[in-house]
Structure 1
Amino acid sequence: MQPLRDAELGAFTFFASPLPHDVCGSNGLPLTPNSIKILGRFQILKTITHPRLCQYVDISRGKHERLVVVAEHYEHNLKDLFKQDKPVSSEKVLQIAYEMLEGLAFMNKHGLVHRALSPHNVLLDCKGKVKLAKFGLYHMTDHGADVDFPIGYPSYLPPEVIAQGSFHSSEGSLGEPPLPSGPKADVWSLGVLLFELCAVCASISVFTVFFCSAGCMDDIVTVLAEEHGCLDIIKPDIPFQLHNCVVDVNLCHRPTPAELLEDIVFEGVSCLYTPYQIPVSLFSSSLRCAHLELPEDINELCKGNEDYLSERSVDEVYHLWCLAGGDLEKELTNKGIIQSKPPVCTLPNFILEDGESFGQSRDRSFLLDDTTVTLSLCQLKNRLKDVAGEAYYPLLEDEQSSLPQSNSNNELSAAVSLPLIIRERDTEYQLTRIVLFDRLLKAYPYKKNQIWKEARVDIPPLLRGLAWAALLGVEGDIQAKYDGIDKDTPIPTDRQIEVDIPRCHQYDELLSSPQGHIKFRRVLKAWVVSHPDLVYWQGLDSLCAPFLYLNFNNEALAYACMSAFIPKYLYNFFLKDNSHVIQEYLTVFSQMIAFHDPELSNHLNEIGFIPDGQIPDFSVFSTDVFPLHKIFHLWDTLLLGNSSFPFCIGVAILQQLRDRLLANGFNECILLFSDLPEIDIERCVRESINLFCWTPKSATYRQHAQPPKPTGDSSSSFGKNPAYYSAEYQDLPNTDLSREPLKLSELKAEISPRISAEDLIDLCELTGPAHFKTPVKRPKTVKTKIVAVDIRSSEDFNRGHIPGSINVPYSSVFGPDGEMLQSPGTNALTSYKGRVIVVLSNIMKNAATFAAHLVKVNYPRVCVLDGGMNKMKPTGLLTVPSPQI
């Protein structure tokens, strides 16, 4: 987006046409309100950026189909030139004509037509340059079909538009809608505007040359001249050639804006303008700095300019304005644009069978009032007055602190410890985070590691879409790849996609719009087509929803993010036969419940509420369970972890429902999950990180997970945590000490998870041969957080055991026939309750049985050494007791 600089923020409002409440569409669902349709079409306008166009920023939907549009605004417009006493020079008129044509031609390249040109919609910035406003009104209203007022002003509309008349979607049965206006309609309006400017300013010679090129009849010129009272002035000056160049109002004889720009009339003007270069996007094959120009003296950049806020983009300023207490409807109400009326004054009118009408006449406030209200930035600037200039230009290489130095630095530092929902509404804090992330993202992928580091603190909502893409490692020319996918040829999956989309997050205005459905369909179909080895399963639309919402105007990025997300967290979940993958996933999840909350696990097992194909799984990937704003906060943390982190999120969710689950049976638990109660997402995130840090990395091993990467980084780090297990690791290649894959039947038979010998060596900080030592360093408090329980006989234990382990023979707990003893030897483990307990044995069946017993008596964090002591013997790490003297 363009910087704010000398611009202001403006807002205008209008009403969409209401629809009858008792009518449904062909699919049996209620009709989509016109305001929702307009809101969806509006989104693409935010991406149309050009020096001759006012930047669109936002649209909000209010009551009774009211819409409020926010856009870049300037106080001066073409009307100010009409009012001034001195005439406008011919050069100035040509400049205005050329700049308007630049804006119109750029719009036409993007399939847009202004159709609402008028003097007050041709704004002028502080340098007198043209800025076309409200150029998107015709597009967002579906060429005027979704509103009850005509788009455009009769005095400036071409004859072919006047002849067509108006049309509304509610009148579809009365006839076919008129053809949409093309670029040539704006040329007529431009000619009329220039005529007014020339007539008032007596620059007729310039106008006649332009009108000759534009192709308009001299009879029209005569009528306009009579209306403006300048017939005596214009008649002698119109060249004779005008009659020969123009014969009628046929569109074929009227040039387009692009053709007019090449006309000889502007030969002396065009050389003064540099062709506009479209900014290079973050994910492309082009150099983002290719057109970067810096002054010879770098100090000139900030010389004499202390309004740092004006250098931020328009959307950033508006976002901060909202955080600082900005209210669109309040601003419009204060200016008298929105007027509240008593309910009795808004009763509808009634029409009897004979046509007689009773009640209120048509409320003219529902018609278009194109007044633009300037949004005051005083409150925002006052809020940010104590923020130093350094906050707008943070040093990325400074590792001491990411927070800027300012008079309110202590407050900003304290804000980091506040709840996330408060931080996201703090104006000063969000300013610093937005500026920092903006600079880091512009340096992506060079600053990828620093983006990870800052994302562990929080992610500013305004830049969440790009930040997620960086966390997922999206790179390259994603648009070219997306464009190369066939998204139009019918495929068998189309029917299922059509059924799923209308049910996915339809409470959200953006995703429920027709444009949202179209984009949903294209992104999902692109994924299905580009992954021929995978299939579409119900729920893929829910996975797509967060990415599409955050990248609504960038389908390619939404597709790229989803394509990176699925193999990382849902590897092979979308195979045609995925039952073995799902079953393994749910079994490991059940073991995680037993590991972290044995009491809850025992209860769920007793009532038969076990995650499987029949019972709802607690995976956080079923994003239709949570509203989007909660998914965003959850996934901000999820994307920092590896594929095992979702297990911890699932356990954290269950622990919030723990009391209800423990107090209810099977049927009540089913009902509980069918109507999930309110979940504290921030608490869930906090607890899931703690659970993740307590979980040995091999405990969540799945043989159907994504193969490990050969190199590691700190991308799955959650930073400092008081728990013993730091999550700073990346999956390592398999070694002799890694976990071995199990058959699904064997995995299901065990309640507690297994961990690898590699993990045990690392967690116990055992020293030995270098090739057995993992490269990850643990805090020195590890020894007090883990205990190895050797259940072999005392004789075997004395022949060699893990240093620091304790011996609780299996025979002291279970009898010869496997029966439980009256006084089991596990009483000796009471003092170790709460630590990670690793059960070691030569016989895996005995180890699994012993661990299951500990879980049954509510010992948390119980796991089993995979491969038993046979895995440890070759390491040379076993020790024998010192002889007694």
Structure 2
Amino acid sequence: MRPLKDAQLGAFTFFASALPHDVCGSNGLPLTPNSIKILGRFQILKTITHPRLCQYVDISRGKHERLIVVAEHFESSLSDFQKQGKTASPETVLQIAYEVLEGLEFMNKHGMVHRALSAHNVLMDCKGNVKLAKFGLYHMTDHGADVDFPIGYVFFSSFITEKEIIFTMNSNAVNQLQGRRLLQNIHISERLKFILTLGCMDDIVTVLAEEHGCLDTIKELPENVLELLRKCLTFLPSKRPTPAQLLGDPVFSGISCFYTPFQKPVSLFSSSLRCAHLELPEDISDLCKDDDEDYLSERAIDEVYHLWCLAGGDLEKELTNKEIIQSKPPICTLPKLKDVAGEAYYPLLEDEQSSLPQSNSSNELSATVTLPLIIRERDTEYQLIRIILFDRLLKAYPYKKNLVWKEARVDIPPLVRGLAWAALLGIEGDIQAKYESIDKDTPIPTDRQIEVDIPRCHQYDELLSSPQGHIKFRRVLKAWVVSHPDLVYWQGLDSLCAPFLYLNFNNEALAYACMSAFIPKYLYNFFLKDNSHVIQEYLTVFSQMIAFHDPELSNHLNEIGFIPDLYAIPWFLTMFTHVFPLHKIFHLWDTLLLGNSSFPFCIGVAILQQLRDRLLANGFNECILLFSDLPEIDIERCVRESINLFCWTPKSATYRQHAQPPKAAGDNGFGKAATYYSSDYQDMAKTDLSREPLALCDLKAEVSPRISAEDLIDLCELSLAGPTKRTKAGRPKIIAVDIRSVEDFSRGHISGSINIPFSTAFSPDGELVQCPTSGILQNYRGRVIVIISHPMKSAFAAHLVKVNFPRVCILDGGINRLKPTGLLTVPSPQI
């Protein structure tokens, strides 16, 4: 999007044709409303940017098939120029003609024609340059098929019939045509054809000039200009020159040299180098000395419109306030944002402390960060500052990847969410070339299932339910299936695709690239033809996470037989996109993308904890009904609690042998960026202290998760001379419970661990003798409790879970794993 500068935001409205209510399509579903079709086709128009075209910004759908289109607008037009009786010089006429042809040629390259070209749709900016308006109306309405009114103006259209042209001329003009007597008895449509065939272009030009009252101007035009007009009036379309051919006409040779060919800006993800001139003055405060500077006008049109909407802008209300529904009423209520200081438009990325003067509202903005996300996303000034900051960071991607991560931890502005997600997923390179190289047209067996799933996927959304949305859905999904021959299409893949397609509706390549990076990170091998072992391991680890964080809830769900297999598969297979609407998924994934592959477990536990009271109070049947229509979930609370659960979870507790293998050294998918979360345990180099793979049957037999020896060492900070890691209350976060005999414990143990021999609590046959929680262990409730034994005995940990002790885990490999480290402590002999 280009800057707003001296333009305005204009809006025009029209109605789509209404469809009968009792008619269904071939698939048995109701027909897609024409307004939805138009909304889908409109999206591509937002990507068509050229100096001679008015930029399209947005479209909204109202009642009774009403559509309101927002676009760049200028008050002055060629029609106004004519009405004012101004006489243009031949040079000015040629300049206007050249600029109109530039716009038309660019449209043709995108497979579009204007159709609605007329004097009042040729707008002029403050410098007198041409801006073609309403150039996309014909395209978005499917060449007029989706509306009940004709698109175009008879007198200016090159597609009208000969009869229509003759009809627009008055009788005096027709009488001036030569061969009047000869043509009197010929059909009216044939007359013009006959005249044009004779080559009487001079007469046609004269008649048209007289009709428009510019006969004197025509007579003053040079011969080469008249010749250009004759070419444009060629009767046969096949012989009529195109805008590109007309631009090469010798008549424009003296003008074209003053125009630089338009070059589309390099996209963020391509093989081309990007650069920007970011030289700062010696005195940084010079940037903002001019208090009258309109910094907002330098921002992109879509940003300004987004801020206007956040400030309470309502398109339909604006048009209603005008008392009429016009075709081009300017939106005059853009917020001034006067309190935003100039330095906000030039954020410094390297220095934490800026030398620029602070805004009067800087304290208020600092306070805004602490407000709920939904409020921050509706705060106009806050969003302006965040959008500007992310805009600069993303333009410097991947060089500023670390800072993108850092700022994403605060929040992600909705306007730039698509690009921000791509940066968090590490997308780089020429994604368009890769996407285009994939065969998305040859029929494959999966086509039928894709066709069935798409009409059921997030179809409450107008964009995704449009025919264009279905086409793009189909292409992106098929591209993924074709490019991953070792994987298969499972139901749910469409739901995974939906957020990426919605955010990158006009960039299928980026939607595909994001989806292709997301799946191996969070859903590695979930889409194998036989994924049962992957799913079962995942659900077992999830069960252990429930027991680790909420043993009381875990015990109840196990007692009634309400296991994760009954409700959690759609959660994880679609990363919650099957159970939540898109607006909640956006907020959830803003945080999910900052976490590693184990973060979804914490989201699942957080959801269960929001439903905790109802689950504990109900039996199996009631729980089944509860999850068949999931109650409203507070997503912001879910995210907040997920982060807390994650911070309490040891890295190796969520280890899965079927997770994504470690990446190349030095590349853990996060760069050097810090997140609130630890790096993925799967990406850590394997050592003798790492967790060992466990057979699925053995994994299912254990209620509590295992953690690695390296995790225990890290959490206890045994390798450091400093104090033990502590909680906010000043207590250690972890306590090691050694359940070996007193004799074994005395031969060597972890520093700071406590000894509760297994034999004092359980008989040799495993029967409980004395509750181990009645003594000293009760003082450690709430901390991470690591059970250390030899050989492995999970009964002790299982009992702690049974009596509702949270955060219980088992040291993988037992004490033997620690003996080679030299970290075991031997008590000094008593003297």
Normalising by structure 2, report the TM-score: 0.90
Counterpart residue type for residue 274 of structure 1: T
Aligned pairs (5 A) from 1:480-519: 480-519=433-472
**1:639 and 2:585 correspond:** no
Aligned match of 2:30: 30
**1:228 and 2:233 correspond:** no
Q: Does structure 2 conserve the Cα–Cα contact (< 8 Å) formed by 1:693 and 1:727? A: no
Aligned match of 1:374: 330
Q: 1:164 to 1:462 in 2, by over 3 A?
A: farther
**1:764 and 2:716 correspond:** yes
Q: Aligned match of 2:670 in 710, 715, 738?
A: 715
Counterpart residue type for residue 52 of structure 1: R
Counterpart residue type for residue 439 of structure 1: R
Mapped partners of 1:536, 1:64: distance in 2: 39
Aligned match of 1:169: none
Deviation at 1:227, TM superposition (A): 2.6
Aligned match of 2:783: 835
- Give the 3-state SS of the residue equivalent to 2:577 in structure 1: coil
Q: Aligned match of 1:599 in 546, 552, 570?
A: 552
- Give the 3-state SS of the residue equivalent to 1:250 in structure 2: coil
Counterpart residue type for residue 289 of structure 1: C
**1:549 and 2:502 correspond:** yes
Aligned match of 1:820: 768
Aligned match of 2:249: 263
Deviation at 1:707, TM superposition (A): 1.2
Deviation at 1:779, TM superposition (A): 6.4
Mapped partners of 1:514, 1:108: distance in 2: 23
Mapped partners of 1:259, 1:303: distance in 2: 49
Q: Does structure 1 conserve the Cα–Cα contact (< 8 Å) formed by 2:36 and 2:462? A: yes
Aligned match of 1:476: 429
Mapped partners of 1:330, 1:854: distance in 2: 62
Q: 1:692 to 1:108 in 2, by over 3 A?
A: same
Q: 1:763 to 1:301 in 2, by over 3 A?
A: closer
Aligned match of 2:687: 735
Aligned pairs (5 A) from 1:90-101: 90-101=90-101
Aligned match of 1:807: 755
Aligned match of 2:830: 884
- Give the 3-state SS of the residue equivalent to 1:740 in structure 2: coil
Aligned match of 2:629: 675
- Give the 3-state SS of the residue equivalent to 2:14 in structure 1: strand
- Give the 3-state SS of the residue equivalent to 1:603 in structure 2: helix
Q: Aligned match of 1:705 in 652, 655, 659?
A: 659
**1:277 and 2:277 correspond:** no
Aligned match of 1:451: 404
Mapped partners of 1:718, 1:423: distance in 2: 24
Counterpart residue type for residue 24 of structure 1: C
Q: 1:540 to 1:99 in 2, by over 3 A?
A: same
Deviation at 1:466, TM superposition (A): 0.2
Aligned pairs (5 A) from 1:55-66: 55-66=55-66
- Give the 3-state SS of the residue equivalent to 2:564 in structure 1: coil
Q: 1:237 to 1:273 in 2, by over 3 A?
A: closer
Identity of aligned residues (%): 78
Counterpart residue type for residue 819 of structure 1: E
Q: Does structure 2 conserve the Cα–Cα contact (< 8 Å) formed by 1:787 and 1:836? A: yes
Aligned match of 1:436: 389
Q: 1:98 to 1:37 in 2, by over 3 A?
A: same
CA RMSD of aligned residues (A): 2.9
**1:327 and 2:323 correspond:** no
Cα deviation, 1:229-282, whole Å, max 9, x if unaligned, reads 566885798969969979961112210000000001111111110111110000
Counterpart residue type for residue 332 of structure 2: S
**1:791 and 2:706 correspond:** no
Mapped partners of 2:230, 2:667: distance in 1: 76
Q: Does structure 1 conserve the Cα–Cα contact (< 8 Å) formed by 2:78 and 2:123? A: yes
Cα deviation, 1:701-759, whole Å, max 9, x if unaligned, reads 000111123226693999797xxx96798831100000000000000110000000000
Mapped partners of 1:814, 1:825: distance in 2: 13
- Give the 3-state SS of the residue equivalent to 1:372 in structure 2: coil
Mapped partners of 1:255, 1:720: distance in 2: 59
Deviation at 1:763, TM superposition (A): 0.6
Deviation at 1:377, TM superposition (A): 4.0
- Give the 3-state SS of the residue equivalent to 1:759 in structure 2: helix
Cα deviation, 1:773-797, whole Å, max 9, x if unaligned, reads 9xxx966879611110111111111
Deviation at 1:216, TM superposition (A): 8.8
Aligned match of 2:184: none
Which deviates the most, 84-93 or 818-827? 818-827
Q: Does structure 1 conserve the Cα–Cα contact (< 8 Å) formed by 2:231 and 2:241? A: no
Q: 1:533 to 1:865 in 2, by over 3 A?
A: same
Deviation at 1:826, TM superposition (A): 5.1
Mapped partners of 2:647, 2:461: distance in 1: 35
Mapped partners of 1:244, 1:462: distance in 2: 48
Q: Does structure 1 conserve the Cα–Cα contact (< 8 Å) formed by 2:90 and 2:221? A: no
- Give the 3-state SS of the residue equivalent to 1:485 in structure 2: coil
Q: Does structure 2 conserve the Cα–Cα contact (< 8 Å) formed by 1:713 and 1:729? A: no
Deviation at 1:117, TM superposition (A): 0.8
Q: Does structure 2 conserve the Cα–Cα contact (< 8 Å) formed by 1:391 and 1:405? A: no
Q: 1:105 to 1:32 in 2, by over 3 A?
A: same
Mapped partners of 1:237, 1:450: distance in 2: 60
Q: 1:494 to 1:618 in 2, by over 3 A?
A: closer
Count of aligned residue pairs for this structure pair: 792
Cα deviation, 1:392-419, whole Å, max 9, x if unaligned, reads 0000112248999311000000000000
Mapped partners of 1:164, 1:753: distance in 2: 81
Normalising by structure 1, report the TM-score: 0.85
Aligned match of 1:746: 698
Q: Does structure 2 conserve the Cα–Cα contact (< 8 Å) formed by 1:808 and 1:826? A: no
Deviation at 1:813, TM superposition (A): 1.3
Aligned pairs (5 A) from 1:190-209: none
Q: 1:232 to 1:881 in 2, by over 3 A?
A: closer
Mapped partners of 2:356, 2:544: distance in 1: 41
- Give the 3-state SS of the residue equivalent to 1:59 in structure 2: strand
Q: Does structure 1 conserve the Cα–Cα contact (< 8 Å) formed by 2:652 and 2:681? A: no
Q: Does structure 1 conserve the Cα–Cα contact (< 8 Å) formed by 2:232 and 2:240? A: no
Mapped partners of 1:449, 1:491: distance in 2: 41
Q: 1:402 to 1:807 in 2, by over 3 A?
A: farther
Aligned match of 2:475: 522
Mapped partners of 1:247, 1:729: distance in 2: 72
Q: Does structure 2 conserve the Cα–Cα contact (< 8 Å) formed by 1:36 and 1:513? A: yes
- Give the 3-state SS of the residue equivalent to 2:128 in structure 1: coil
Aligned match of 2:520: 567
Mapped partners of 1:657, 1:402: distance in 2: 49
Q: Which runs of 5+ in 1 are unaligned?
A: 166-211, 339-368
Mapped partners of 2:710, 2:282: distance in 1: 58
- Give the 3-state SS of the residue equivalent to 1:252 in structure 2: coil
Mapped partners of 1:247, 1:819: distance in 2: 101
Deviation at 1:221, TM superposition (A): 2.7
Q: Does structure 2 conserve the Cα–Cα contact (< 8 Å) formed by 1:504 and 1:542? A: yes
Aligned match of 2:183: none
Q: Does structure 2 conserve the Cα–Cα contact (< 8 Å) formed by 1:51 and 1:131? A: yes
Q: Aligned match of 2:643 in 689, 709, 713?
A: 689
Deviation at 1:158, TM superposition (A): 2.9
Q: Does structure 2 conserve the Cα–Cα contact (< 8 Å) formed by 1:611 and 1:617? A: no
Cα deviation, 1:471-490, whole Å, max 9, x if unaligned, reads 00000000010011110011
Counterpart residue type for residue 105 of structure 1: E
- Give the 3-state SS of the residue equivalent to 1:733 in structure 2: coil
Q: Does structure 2 conserve the Cα–Cα contact (< 8 Å) formed by 1:81 and 1:88? A: no
Which deviates the most, 231-240 or 577-586? 231-240
Counterpart residue type for residue 157 of structure 1: S
Q: Which runs of 5+ in 2 are unaligned?
A: 166-195
**1:316 and 2:300 correspond:** no
Cα deviation, 1:654-688, whole Å, max 9, x if unaligned, reads 10011111111111111111101100000000000
Cα deviation, 1:284-324, whole Å, max 9, x if unaligned, reads 0111228x698999999989671000000000000001111
Mapped partners of 1:247, 1:834: distance in 2: 86
Mapped partners of 1:868, 1:791: distance in 2: 10
